[in-house]
Amino acid sequence: MTRLQGKAALVVGVAPGNLGEHIAWRFADEGAKVMVAGRRAEPLGEAAARIGALAHVCDIEQEADIRALVAAARERLGRIDVAVNATGWGLLKPFAEHSREELERMCAVQFVGPFQLLQALVEAMLAGGSIIQISSVTATIMFDHHAAYMGTKAGLDHVIRCVAHEYGHKGIRANSLSPGGIADTPMSGGGLDLPRVRELYAREIPLGRPGVAADVADAALWLASDESAFVTGQNIHVSGGQTLRRNPSIGEVFAAFTG
């Protein structure tokens, strides 16, 4: 499989079993030379070994780390044709209970750090390329007790549109991918594999099932490839059509876990 043959890809936010690892593995399987980045060295190294990728430790909250990562990717990969940001923090907490400390960390992880990553990327992608931001269906439709997560994801989606608008003349494309719940990654904690929870989501998803990581990796592969060469500034939902309906309420989800 050679849809990314000759391309160099950087995937940020990789840890064992998570969505970033699935995307990086798919890129490598399609012929790309890949560098993966994450906060913790040991699990990052484990993921990189499975993928056959280069690894570089990076804390998305630290500007110096971000700059060093992009410089290392350019040096070790030769260039950056594709970059994916899959970092995130799935804080689930009632709106009135979010602390200042939690809000500041959420902004650091899901807005300021990714913004600074985008700044470094547009400087480094001298020959153009594809930037892919992993967003969320919840940046469009509601989910209870998730306001800080949803708000920062939605804000960065608009920043992605700004990058597409301002850097298209340099051949840089920028798009968001918005998954719904992913049944086989740590973010969902295995909950979507419980029959009663799956039934809740199947009711709200026209295609009748929760997503899996391969669904999102397939969409990321398309955006990374030349097949999407005329696509930029878009938020592509990989959710089985869930935005046509809704998320289950938090009460429904808790009842499905405990009932």
Domains and CATH numbers, the chain: 8-190+208-238 (3.40.50.720)
Higher pLDDT, residue 189 or 41: 41
User: pLDDT value at position 190?
Assistant: 56
| DSSP per-residue string spanning 98-121 | --HHHHHHHHIIIIIHHHHHHHHH
What is the rounded average pLDDT of the residues 99-104?
Answer: 98
Q: How many CB atoms lie within 10 A of CB 77?
A: 18
Q: Return d(Cα 26, Cα 45) in angstroms, integer.
A: 17
Predicted confidence band of residue 191 (pLDDT cuts 50, 70, 90): low
Q: Residue 252: what pLDDT?
A: 86
Q: Average model confidence (pLDDT) for the chain?
A: 94
Phi, psi of 163 (to 5 degrees): -60, -45
Query: End-to-end distance of the chain based on CA atoms, in angstroms?
Result: 45
In 3D, which of 152, 132, 141 has the Cα closest to residue 223? 132
pLDDT in tens, 2-57: 999 999 999 999 999 999 999 999 999 999 999 999 999 999 999 999 999 999 99
Using one digit for the tens of pLDDT, what is the confidence trace for 122-176? 999 999 999 999 999 999 999 999 999 999 999 999 999 999 999 999 999 999 9
Tell me if residue 132 falls in helix, strand or coil. strand
What's the confidence (pLDDT) of residue 186? 77
Q: How far apart are CA 99 and CA 103, in angstroms?
A: 6
**What is the model's pTM?**
0.95
From 149, 200, 219, 223, the catalytic residue: 149
Q: Which range (78-82, 182-186, 240-244) has the least confidence?
A: 182-186
To the query of whether residue 167 is one of the catalytic residues in this protein, the response is no
The answer for residues whose C-beta is within 8 angstroms of residue 231's C-beta and 6 or more apart is: 173, 175, 223
